[in-house]
Structure 1
Amino acid sequence: MSIALWSRGLGVLMSLQAIVAQGEIVIDRTRVIYPGAARAVVINLHNEADSPRLVQAWIDDGDAAAAPENSDVPFTITPPIVRMNASTGRALRIMHYQTPKPMADRESVYWLNVLAIRPSVEASAETNVLQFAFRTRIKLFLRPAELPGQVQDAAHALQWSVSGGGEAGLEVLNPTPYHVTLSGVVLTLRAVEHRSEDPPMVAPYGTARIAMPGLPHEGLTGTPVEFTTLDDEGATQHHQALLRPVACSSLKPCADAPGA
């Protein structure tokens, strides 16, 4: 079996009859944490379908459209392609190699792809077949050893302020070496809720903007903002912080602001 499974699986034949593999290969987690000192990390798959599936796994650096053979990442997966019979499990081994050397002062994020394809059936003159594949894509965090602080404290360290100009909304600064995955943000002002149901992930030592149309630019210092994050297990955690002055929307410390 070759890497050509990727292109074949996304649309094999134009047809009248569909064979769809949807959500049938279950991964045992919602994200992968790869400790920098680990020799390998093992993930487990299970085929929930009532028939065999061909499964292809690869890692990319954020380009969801990149084919596996064009993915340039410091990881290998064994086996990269496997046949899984119905109601069976299979372990995949992810190994990281140190070339090029990853950043040692912060996490790096990659994406694990698992593509499930129902094995081809022969098309007859009377029956054309359209074959689809279903891909699951989850985050993989490469976490160097001896990073300062604790990952579970990263969300509490986020610094929130109103965007200094342009589109109305919030700016959030992450002063830690860990990624923080936001899953929801709510700011209540004069009994009106301003929400973001799809906020971005905040990179280590980075900032992110969260659009909230109608939110004023001034007079909000000290206003509480409620937000949720996803932890290493994929569980939702609830937090609250106070908005800082607009001038704090940078790596400059804001120690005298409310809630500091």
Structure 2
Amino acid sequence: MRSRFLSLLTLLPVLLAGQASAAVSVGATRVIYDSAAKEANLSVSNRGEDAPYLVQSWVSAYGTQTENSVEGFLVTPPLFRLDGNSENVLRILYTGSQSLPQDQESLFLMNVKAIPAMTQEQTAQNVLQIALKTSIKLFYRPAGLKGTLKEATANVAWHSNNGKLQVRNPSGFNLVVSELKVNDVATADIPDVIRPAEQRQLDVAAKPGDRITLSYIDEYGSTLVAPTAQVN
């Protein structure tokens, strides 16, 4: 009996989180901030019937342990109440207080945290409240950036270095990797993102002449396949 009770306690946060995620959602899987525009927008929806949420939003650094907001970006409204069956639009503003490169993209995280509001009845009870955070990639794209993401994926260079696969991204675009195949066999060790001007060695066996198939995610969240490349 005790083990069943503990199992229910273990599952409770999962069940509550599932209910929260079904209610509050963001309207995109990534945000492309064109520096020529004054702002970027992201919709947040609450599809629950009558459950209000407190929504907090901010921009943080990508690839670090810290979730603190970064200088240079302002999200408005930063904190607001989102009632059931309603939607709001977040405005993401680049303030210019943080100097960003103008010849390549800069990558950040856009964070949206939904905290369920407590009713008066719940306040008087011992109720577990689950705050659910969604983080999506935010790409700051300079207006003068040359080329396209499609061209960038086609120009990725692949080399064999001591029997291991080495990748180099000569473009100014961040390449979000969905899948990587060597000779039509999917590899387990793939980078989440190949950053602009980055050269990285992967723990993947490769030799000159091997075929590389790179699947990547574009600006709209679709998965595309780059032209087949060859290892040099």
User: Shared fold (TM-score greater than 0.5)?
Assistant: yes
* 3-state SS of paired residue (1:129): coil
1:221 corresponds to 2:208: yes
- The 3-state SS of whatever aligns with 1:115 is strand
2:130 is the counterpart of 1:132: yes
Which residue matches 1:256? none
Residue in structure 2 matched with residue 29 of structure 1 by the alignment: 28
Map 1:1-150 → 2, pairs under 5 A: 19-20=16-17, 21-50=20-49, 51-62=51-62, 65-67=65-67, 70-121=68-119, 122-124=122-124, 127-150=125-148
Quote the sequence identity (%): 28
| 8 Å Cα contact 2:190/2:202 also seen in 1 | no
Task: Give, as a single letter, the amino acid of the residue that structure 1 aligns with 2:53.
Answer: R
Q: Residue 230 of structure 2 aligns with which residue?
A: 242
Q: Mind listing any 5+ residue stretches in structure 1 that lack a counterpart?
A: 1-13, 245-260
Normalising by the residue count of structure 2, what TM-score does the alignment of the two structures yield? 0.84
What secondary structure, in the 3-state scheme, does the structure 2 residue paired with 1:205 have?
Answer: coil
TM-score, L = length of structure 1: 0.75
**Runs of 4+ displaced beyond 3 Å:** 14-20, 63-67, 121-124
Aligned to 2:178: 183
Matched with 1:255 is none
RMSD of aligned Cα (Å): 2.4
Distance, in Å, in 1 between the alignment partners of 2:25 and 2:100 is: 29
Determine which structure has the larger helix proportion and give its number: 2
Q: Any conservation in 2 of the 1:16–1:130 contact (CA below 8 Å)?
A: no
How far, CA to CA, are the matches of 2:221 and 2:229 in structure 1? 21
Contact 1:176 1:204 (C-alpha < 8 Å) held by counterparts: yes
Question: In the aligned structure 2, how far is the partner of 1:172 from the partner of 1:141?
Answer: 21
Q: How many residues align?
A: 216
Alpha carbons of 1:35 and 1:187: their partners in 2 closer, same or farther (altered >3 Å)?
Answer: same
Instruction: Name the CA shift for 1:16/1:27 in 2 (closer, same or farther; >3 Å).
Output: closer
Q: Give the Cα separation in 2 of the matches to 1:85 and 1:66.
A: 30
Q: Please give the alpha-carbon distance, in whole angstroms, between the structure 2 residues aligned to 1:148 and 1:130.
A: 50
Quote the Cα distance in structure 1 between the aligned partners of 2:99 and 2:210.
Answer: 42
